[in-house]
Structure 1
Amino acid sequence: MIIKVLIADDHRLFRDGLKRILAETADIVVVGEATDGPDALEKMRRGGWDVALLDVNMPGMNGLEVLKRVMNDDAKRQVLMLSTYHEDEYAIRTIRAGASAYLTKNSPTDLLISVIRRLANGGKYIDAKLAEKLLFDLGPTSTISLHSTLSDRELDVLKLIAVGISLTEISQKLALSAKTVSTYRARILEKMNMQNNAQLVRYVAEHKLLE
């Protein structure tokens, strides 16, 4: 069985690196590439692949948004989310959104290939530590962090606020109107029961959301 892989990542060097790695396997072939969110959504919907390697952060539309839209089309899609983020929060969000696996971009090559093969056979891959956290979070006595109540886009805005980017710059970066970004900020403050940006910055630092 030849496993057909679609790579969606906005960094050409990373895509080229993945292609070189996968070219060394006899049963995996790269059948397509996408360079941003809308491109990834179009090519994933077009089909012709078995496993998609989808970057969490991409311009135009982030990987989580792409994932959710694709899952609405066909819940049987096998998607491996790739990210530079190590924190469990991102992994949990992607798994809950329908991803079959989540790996950081510095994962060992043999693990990447093994996970691709597992997904191609209809399986899933969840790190043992992450699986434990998922079970804990689903428990009746679990404590939900404030930022866990935010939508994916609200979390993006929160992090950009935390690094000192103005609302105008955020609107340009996320391709949103300034009014929409202001609305997101208001929702974030309300959901997290905070009054100003300084409190948001402190929260992000304390919870190491930017690492």
Structure 2
Amino acid sequence: MINVGIIEDNYFQLNSYKEYLEDLPDCRVVFACKSMEEFAALSPQDMEAQVVLLDVMLPGMSGIEGIYQLREAFPEAKIIMLTAHDEKQYVVRCVKEGAHGYLVKTGRLADIYQGILDAATYGCALSPRAACQLISHINQDPLQPVRYKLTEREYELLSLLKEGYSYKVMADRLHLSVFTINHHLKKIYQKLNVSSKSELVSRICMNNL
């Protein structure tokens, strides 16, 4: 049995979700609220939600702002955002805030049920459109195609920097001046969208460059 919580400001959709899920043999609705404020008035310790369906656009505190509050109340619960908005900025922000799923409302209740099963079983649930938006965001990361953005000399500098060499040692090894090393590094900073040596080294290591 999966304990499900619902926060949806549209009265008809809220009741539709609640009635549909309560008719399923493996789901139990433990709360159904129209806002984060209404949820805050409840006692989370008595509900034990395992999956929470959360509308992105809520009156008062938005669903995005409410993610943290829900994770505080139910640390083990999977939070699935429900919305008609499939724009990349919404998908990315919700995931960064801690949501485990993002479902674009299709009008098919079976899609929501499948999302609940996916979240409970695999830990996440994404509609196809949301998955495409996340992949697009990841592929736009300036570090993904880094090998193709940098010149051979710039990539060589990255390799030396990763080994911990100082600018002076790098200059000696490459038979260049320290001024030229700094010039190349400034270009690398711009191409990789970083602002300091420590940030650059951190990203090099994290991305296996």
Q: TM-score, normalised by structure 1?
A: 0.58
Aligned match of 1:48: 48
Structure 1: which 5+ runs fail to align? 143-211
Q: Structure 2 matches for 1:70-89, cutoff 5 A?
A: 70-71=70-71, 75-89=75-89
1:6/1:77 CA distance change after superposition, 3 Å: same
- Name the CA distance, whole Å, in 2 between partners of 1:107 and 1:135: 29
- Name the CA distance, whole Å, in 2 between partners of 1:24 and 1:70: 25
Q: Structure 2 matches for 1:1-211, cutoff 5 A?
A: 2-43=1-42, 45-46=44-45, 47-71=47-71, 75-106=75-106, 108-126=108-126, 127=128, 128-140=131-143
Give the C-alpha shift of residue 139 in structure 1: 4.1
Give the C-alpha shift of residue 58 in structure 1: 1.3
Q: Residue 113 of structure 1: SS of its match in structure 2?
A: helix
Give the C-alpha shift of residue 105 in structure 1: 2.0
Q: Out of 37-46 and 86-95, give the one that drifted further.
A: 37-46
Structure whose alpha-carbon radius of gyration is higher: 2
Q: Residue 121 of structure 1: SS of its match in structure 2?
A: helix
- Name the CA distance, whole Å, in 2 between partners of 1:70 and 1:129: 26
Q: CA RMSD in A?
A: 2.4
Cα deviation 1:140-199 (Å, max 9, x = unaligned): 269xxxxxxxxxxxxxxxxxxxxxxxxxxxxxxxxxxxxxxxxxxxxxxxxxxxxxxxxx
CA contact (8 A) 1:40 1:66 kept: no
Structure 1 outlier segments of 4+, above 4 Å: 41-45, 72-75
Q: Give the residue type in structure 1 aligned to 2:134.
A: A
Q: Residue 92 of structure 1: SS of its match in structure 2?
A: helix
Cα deviation 1:38-96 (Å, max 9, x = unaligned): 22345484442111111111122111111023335665331111112121221111111
- Name the CA distance, whole Å, in 2 between partners of 1:19 and 1:60: 22
CA contact (8 A) 1:68 1:98 kept: yes
- Name the CA distance, whole Å, in 2 between partners of 1:42 and 1:79: 19
Aligned match of 1:185: none
Q: Residue 19 of structure 1: SS of its match in structure 2?
A: helix
CA contact (8 A) 1:78 1:122 kept: no
1:21/1:97 CA distance change after superposition, 3 Å: same
Identity of aligned residues (%): 23
Q: Residue 31 of structure 1: SS of its match in structure 2?
A: strand
- Name the CA distance, whole Å, in 2 between partners of 1:93 and 1:55: 14
CA contact (8 A) 2:87 2:133 kept: no
1:72/1:7 CA distance change after superposition, 3 Å: closer
Structure 2: which 5+ runs fail to align? 146-209
Q: TM-score, normalised by structure 2?
A: 0.59
